[in-house]
Amino acid sequence: MAGLRCLSDPAVVALDTGEFIVKEDLEYEYNGGIKGISFSVIVPSGFITDFASVPWYGKLFIDRTGPWNKAAALHDWLYTSRGLSRTISDALFLEAMTIHGVSKIRRHVMYLAVHLGGGKTYRKAYDNYAKDYPGFLAKFKKD
């Protein structure tokens, strides 16, 4: 079957900082669609996410947590690790929200928010994460 599948259901624990830590690998598999390419993405155990980063003006419409939590963790990891382009990362976020049952209107609003407003975050995510959690990303650095 073509498309994105979530292969795991890891525990996620809230931290005192308001962030969340993925306690086990969160694994996705993508088959087809993009020129028949297949690949896996693993959000590694120990990754810290804030789920959906919602600006103050969006909090009336979108909560920080919800059925999009795994999709948001995936998106945060893709932005942080820079394993895929921003365009593909955003498209996978949209598809992940679909498979996790986020309503069509909500997932498209969230997708448009990251796609239109996430450029600065994408450019700075790796450096910010490396500063806040030294050593973690070094384990995944590509030579």
Helix H or strand E encompassing 110: helix 104-117
Cβ contact 28:22 at 8 Å: no
Predicted TM-score (pTM) of this structure: 0.86
pLDDT greater than 70 at residue 101: yes
Residue 77: per-residue pLDDT: 93
Q: What is the pLDDT of residues 67-82, one digit of tens each?
A: 999 999 999 999 998 8
